[in-house]
């Protein structure tokens, strides 16, 4: 009934809600997951919803809220409300009117809190309590379901008592509908509802706007005071989310990361349109799960061996730069497979970086190579961004949408690329690529003619790159072959130097060992004492000599003997080694 079957899991649902925040001109959207309590809080600082919006747009199921918002209402779009900061115009992501249902995938209960900022000022905070479980009862008439709504003026936030008040209303509604619901379902619905009675949004706001050291956050996301935006508090969160977070390994990104990393394009040179965050609150404090450290940045393109950048024009022809081992050259690539016809997808641009699989063939220093390789291993791939917002699932390491890995196994000799060694993005726009449309379930583009052309152009491009630059017999292969040979030779040399240095180090270590053994056993002390004794004995002997000549001779001999003995002790001192 809710149409939420269309949404494939909690991370996808959160992606949908992030898009709604984007559409409301939010600059920030943040998720906070409290595992122990199974509560997820999602907050944005967008322009929010008025009571009318809540009742007639958000709560009215199945309405196509803004079909083709970008196409039909172009004139209106120019005068649209873009929040009090009048942010640059955005291409609206929502069009199916199903995004809001994503909230019901996460948990059966939603507390919606939203405060609208409109041209005529700030509105009251509107709070609604929805028990989605009721909407799932077979045979129940939707009009009989009561969703209580309350308003809070003057920047006030609801307290725990206020939430209990709303819960009482839902409980009453549930009681009224009791005869239409199975006894088991009734019991469960009621039990679930009890859990909202522990939520105090005013307290929660304080907790969430504190830093981990207890200080106040500089840029709080809040609906109190002059704050505006939308907050969802959902509970009890389905246990799948824990798996989605924890399923990541050294080599494999988690499901949460696959869906939420790089929501806005942080690989681009432009400032991302919206900042996203997912904090996982565990016993030892909050963990940032989709932070920028785990993803690629624009700077990372400098830490690559091969790099390609350019635009595909109306004819599907690539015009740009190919940079092999840091040596750039202009490159033009025609869409041969198109046989001269105009592609149906429209123009787009691309940036793609590639890191050699062997560190010995890479121009990167060992640390950079290690870092970049582990990143590409986990999250490498070719992503798609539409007006700066990621289109799922492209880029995910298990979505080889250009058959890059497949081709590797088919024709290894003529192929170069490996899917997990590269990263980058294709940038498309609503305004020029509107024939690329997403499936209702949002798992990628519809496989229409435009998409087929789009894909074909990119497949052709990578094929041509492999052919032109990376085979032994490639027409423009010299940069790659020379570069590879150079770096391999350098690596070989470095290895030899290392072996040499290692053996010198070992010799020195041996000497040190001998020295310290002697030192610790008191060898030097006893030896010098012995020499001293010998010396005084012999000096004493010299005393008896009368002839000056003999005395001089005797003392010289004695001096030489003693020096020799001292030298002998010294030779076991490692400082003499050098």
**Cis geometry, peptide bond prior to residue 69 (ω within 30 degrees of 0):** no
Q: How far, in Å, CA of 174 to CA of 43, rounded?
A: 29
Nearest distance, CB of residue 4 and ligand ADP, angstroms: 11
Instruction: Give whichever of 230 and 396 is closer to ligand ADP, judged by the CB atom.
Output: 230
Q: Is 84 in the site for ligand ADP (CB under 6 A)?
A: no
Query: Strand pairing partners for 318?
Result: 312, 333
Tell me the HSE value of 160 on the side-chain side, using a 13 A CA sphere: 9
Instruction: Give whichever of 96 and 420 is closer to ligand ADP, judged by the CB atom.
Output: 96
Q: CB of 25 within 8 A of CB of 49?
A: no
How many helices and strands in the chain, by DSSP H and E? 16, 15
Q: Report helix, strand or coil for 169.
A: helix
Q: Is 48 in the site for ligand ADP (CB under 6 A)?
A: yes
Residues ≥6 apart with Cβ < 8 Å to 528: 566, 569
Instruction: Choose which of 58, 132, 295, 335 interacts with ligand ADP (CB under 6 A).
Output: 58
Q: What does the block give as tokens for 235? A: 């509970």
Q: Is 46 in the site for Mg ion (CB under 5 A)?
A: no
Site string for Mg ion, 99-128 (x = CB under 5 A): x-----------------------------
Q: Considering CB distances under 5 to 8 angstroms, the limit depending on partner class, which of Mg ion, ligand ADP, none binds residue 574?
A: none
Q: Considering CB distances under 5 to 8 angstroms, the limit depending on partner class, which of ligand ADP, Mg ion, none binds residue 244?
A: none
Instruction: For residue 570, give the H/E element and its range.
Output: helix 548-570
Instruction: Choose which of 3, 97, 148, 248 interacts with ligand ADP (CB under 6 A).
Output: 97
Nearest distance, CB of residue 402 and ligand ADP, angstroms: 29
**DSSP for 242-260, written as a single string:** HHHHHT--SSS--HHHHHH
Q: Is 44 in the site for ligand ADP (CB under 6 A)?
A: yes
Q: Is 452 in the site for ligand ADP (CB under 6 A)?
A: no
Q: What does the block give as tokens for 568? A: 């002998």
**Cis geometry, peptide bond prior to residue 393 (ω within 30 degrees of 0):** yes
Strands 149-152 and 121-131, by their bridges, are: antiparallel
Which residues from 196-255 bind ligand ADP, rule CB under 6 A?
230
Q: Report helix, strand or coil for 315.
A: coil
Give the binding range for Mg ion (CB under 5 A) out of 12-20, 127-135, 326-334, 348-356: 12-20
Give the binding range for ligand ADP (CB under 6 A) out of 49-57, 179-187, 516-524, 564-572: 49-57
Q: Is 23 in the site for ligand ADP (CB under 6 A)?
A: yes
Q: Is 20 in the site for Mg ion (CB under 5 A)?
A: yes
Q: Is 94 in the site for Mg ion (CB under 5 A)?
A: yes
Q: What is the CA radius of gyration of the chain?
A: 36
Instruction: Choose which of 98, 125, 134, 193 interacts with ligand ADP (CB under 6 A).
Output: 98
Q: Considering CB distances under 5 to 8 angstroms, the limit depending on partner class, which of ligand ADP, Mg ion, none binds residue 350?
A: none
Taking Cα atoms as reference points, which of 381, 396, 391 lies closest to residue 430? 391
Binding positions for ligand ADP, rule: CB under 6 A: 20-21, 23-24, 44, 46, 48-49, 53, 57-58, 65-66, 94-100, 230
């Amino acid at each position: 009934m809710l149409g939420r079957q269309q949404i494939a899991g909690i991370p996808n649902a959160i992606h949908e809600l992030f898009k709604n925040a984007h559409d409301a001109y939010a600059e920030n959207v943040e998720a906070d997951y409290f595992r122990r309590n199974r509560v997820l809080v999602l907050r944005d600082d967008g322009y929010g919803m008025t009571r009318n919006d809540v009742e007639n747009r958000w709560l009215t199921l199945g309405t196509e809220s803004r079909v083709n918002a970008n196409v039909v209402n172009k004139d209106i779009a120019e005068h649209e409300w873009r929040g009090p900061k009048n942010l640059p115009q955005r291409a609206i992501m929502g069009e199916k009117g199903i995004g809001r249902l994503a909230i019901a995938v996460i948990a059966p209960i939603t507390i919606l809190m939203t405060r609208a900022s409109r041209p005529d000022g700030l509105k009251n905070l509107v709070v609604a309590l929805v028990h989605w479980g009721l909407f799932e009862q077979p045979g129940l008439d939707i009009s009989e379901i009561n969703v209580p709504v309350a308003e809070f003026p003057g920047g006030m936030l609801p307290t725990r008592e206020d939430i209990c008040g709303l819960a009482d209303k839902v409980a009453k509604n549930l009681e009224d509908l009791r005869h239409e619901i199975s006894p088991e379902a009734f019991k469960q619905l009621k039990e679930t509802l009890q859990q909202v009675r522990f939520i105090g949004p005013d307290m929660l706001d304080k907790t969430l706007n504190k830093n981990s050291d207890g200080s106040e956050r500089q840029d709080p996301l809040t609906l109190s005071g002059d704050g505006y935006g939308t907050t969802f508090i959902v509970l009890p969160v389905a246990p799948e989310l824990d798996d989605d977070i924890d399923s990541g390994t050294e080599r494999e990104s988690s499901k949460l990361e696959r869906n939420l990393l790089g929501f806005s394009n942080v690989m681009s040179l432009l400032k991302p349109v919206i900042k996203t965050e997912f904090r996982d609150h565990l016993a030892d404090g909050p963990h940032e799960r989709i932070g920028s450290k785990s993803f690629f940045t624009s700077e990372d393109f400098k830490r690559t061996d091969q790099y390609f950048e350019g635009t595909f024009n109306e004819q599907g022809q690539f015009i740009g730069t190919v940079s092999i081992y840091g040596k750039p050259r202009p490159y033009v690539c025609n869409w041969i497979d198109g046989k001269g016809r105009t592609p149906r997808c429209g123009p787009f641009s691309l940036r793609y970086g590639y890191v050699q699989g062997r560190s010995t063939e890479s121009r990167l220093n060992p640390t950079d190579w290690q870092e970049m390789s582990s990143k590409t291993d986990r999250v490498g791939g070719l992503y798609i961004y539409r007006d700066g917002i990621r289109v799922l699932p492209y880029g995910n390491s298990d979505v080889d949408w250009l058959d890059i890995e497949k081709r590797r196994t088919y024709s290894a000799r003529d192929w170069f690329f490996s899917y997990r060694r590269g990263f980058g993005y294709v940038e498309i726009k609503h305004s020029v690529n509107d024939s690329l449309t997403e499936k209702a379930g949002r798992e990628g583009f519809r496989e229409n003619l435009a998409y087929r052309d789009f894909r074909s152009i990119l497949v052709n491009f990578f094929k041509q790159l492999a052919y032109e630059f990376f085979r032994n017999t490639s027409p423009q292969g010299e940069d790659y072959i020379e570069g590879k040979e150079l770096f391999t030779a350098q690596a070989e040399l470095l290895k030899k130097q290392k072996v040499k240095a290692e053996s010198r180090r070992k010799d020195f270590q041996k000497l040190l060992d001998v020295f310290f053994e002697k030192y610790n056993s008191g060898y030097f002390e006893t030896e010098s004492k012995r020499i001293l004794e010998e010396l005084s004995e012999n000096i004493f002997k010299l005393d008896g000599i009368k002839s000056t000549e003999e005395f001089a001779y005797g003392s010289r001999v004695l001096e030489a003997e003693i020096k020799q003995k001292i030298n002998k002790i010294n030779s076991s001192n490692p400082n003499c080694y050098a």
